[in-house]
Amino acid sequence: MENSVNLSPLKNLRADVPAAVVVALVAMPLCLGVALASGAPLISGLIAGVMGGLLVPLFSRSHLAVSGPTPAIVATVLVAMQVLPSFSAFLLAVVIAGGIQIVLGIIRAGVVAYFFPSAVIQGILSAIGIIIILKQFPYAIGFDLGEFGSQDFISAHGENTFSGVIAALAHLEWGALLISVLTLSILITWDKVAVLRKQTWLSGPLMAVVFGTLLNALLLYAVPDLAVSGHNLVNLPIIHSFADLRGMLQMPDWGMIGSKTVWVTAVALTFIASLESLLSIEAADKLDIFKRRTPLDRELLGQGIANVASGLIGGLPVAAVIVRSTANVAAGARTKASAFLHGLFLLFAVLFLATLMNQIPLAALASILIFVGFKLAHPSIFKRMFRLDKSQYLPFVITIVAILFSSLIIGVVVGLLTGVFFVLKANYHSAIEIGREGSAYKIALNREVTFVNKARLSHILERLPKGAEVILDGEHVGFIDHDVLEVIRDFERSAPLREIRLREQGFDAPVLKAPV
C-alpha cells in the first residue's frame, strides 16, 4: 500500500494538520496533568510537550508517534522533588538523562524493543485502551480527579482506577454529560459515514471539540447552571508578556553535577523514558496502516536531544507517549508532520491563545480519548487473541491485568516475563522428543538444546527401562549446551551397567566424544 500512496509530509498536510490540532488539544491537559501530579511547575509540562513535538520529529524517523511528558515518570519526579534540593537540580538530571539517551542511540541500544513479544505489545495497547476509558470517564461526566491523563492504578490523591469511577458517579454534572454525548455522537457518526470519514481538513475529533465548546458556550448563555466551568475546562497559564514567559523558565543547577542523587535520578528517568518511548514506537508502528517501521536507535537519539533541550529551559522529561500517539493515528495522521505541527500549535496556543483554549471543556477531550480507548481495546481484538493458543492469549491477558492494577512499566515487565516463560516452556518440550522406532526408544534432539533442557533430558534418560535399546538422534540439532553434553556422557558411561544398548546417530563424533 505504501508504494501506491505518496507519503511525503507536504503531500499529506490535509490529513496531518487537523490531526495535529486534535493532538495538541488533547496534549494540553495531559501536559498540565503530568506536571500537576508530579508536583512540578505547570509550565514545565507544557515546555516538555513543545520540545517533544518540535525536536523529536526532526531527529527521529517515526511517522506517527507523538512525544511529550509521560504519566509514567510521575512517581519518579515526586521522589526526586523530595530528595533533591531544588527543581533546578532535577532539571540537571533531565539533561543528563537526555545525554545518556543520545549515547544509547549512538551505540544502537534500541534493539532491546525487538525482544517484546507481539502478544505483550497487543496487551499493552488494549490495557492502555481500557485505562483511558476508565480514567477519562470521570471527566466525561464532570468530575475532576486532578490527574487528567494519568495511567497508574493508584493516584496521588489515594483514589484508584475503579474508586475514581464510582466517586465520579456521585458527582455527575448533566452539562458535562450532555457535552460528552454530543462529542461521542459526532465521533461515531464521523467514523461510520463514509462521506464524512473522507473529509481530511474537517476530522471527526476536531469537529467534536469545536461543537463541544460551542455547546458549552450556548449553555453558559442560556442555562448557566448546566454549563461546565472552573476545573472542568482546559486550564493553560496565561502569558501576558515576554517578561512573564522568561520568569516562568528555569535553568539547571550545574553546581549539582557531582551529586550522586542527581545521577541516580537521571538513570531512573533514562530507563523509564526510554522504555516508554520504545514501547510507544512499537505500538504506533502496529497501528500504522502503511506498516512502516521506525529505526529504534534514531528514536532514542531524538528523545535524548529533546530531553536535553527540555531540561535546559525548565521542562519535564520527554518520551513518546502511547495515548498521544494513538490519538494521532485515530485523528487520521499520515506522516511525522503531524507530530511536529502539534508541537507548533501547542507553543502558539500557550503564547497567544490561552484565553480561547481555556474555554474548551475537558468533557469534550475526555470523550475523544474514550473513543480512542475503545478502538484500542475493541472486543474483536480479544476475540482474535482468544482464538490463539495459550502461549499467546495468556501473556496478552496477564499484561492487561498487570498494567490495570499497577502501572505501565510494572505491567510491561510482568507481561515480558510471562512471554519469556512461555518461550522457554515451548523450547523445553520441543527441543527434546521421545518416541519409538520399532522396539527401540528414539530420543531426538532438535534445534538448539540448552541448559534449560537439561532437566527434561535427564528425566527421560533416568526413566528408560533396564535392557532397553536406545537411539539418540542428533540429526536436526544445531547446538548442544555443555551442560547437556555432560548429561549425555554420564548416560554413555552408565548405560552398560543398566544393560542399555545405546546407538547414536547424526552427531559430530568429535564434539560428542570430547572430554568434559
Whole-model pTM: value is 0.73
Q: Does the structure show a pLDDT above 60 at 485?
A: yes
Task: Specify the CATH class of 431-505 in words.
Answer: alpha beta
Q: Does the structure show a pLDDT above 50 at 510?
A: no
Q: Does the structure show a pLDDT above 80 at 156?
A: no
Give me the mean pLDDT over the 396-413 stretch: 84
pLDDT tens digits along 202-237: 677 888 888 999 999 999 999 998 898 888 888 888
With H, G, I as helix, E, B as strand and everything else as coil, classify residue 475.
strand
pLDDT tens digits along 116-133: 777 888 888 888 888 888
Comparing 57-61, 257-261, 376-380, the range with the smallest average pLDDT is 376-380
pLDDT of residue 208: 86
pLDDT of residue 92: 97
Residue 269 pLDDT class (50, 70, 90 cuts): very high
Contacts of 350 (CB under 8 A, 6+ apart): 46, 50, 236, 237, 239
Whole-angstrom distance, CA of residue 177 vs CA of residue 474: 68
- Which cell is 208 given? 467534536
Q: Residue ranges of the domains in the chain?
A: 11-173+198-205+232-358, 431-505
pLDDT of residue 514: 42
Q: Does the structure show a pLDDT above 70 at 393?
A: yes
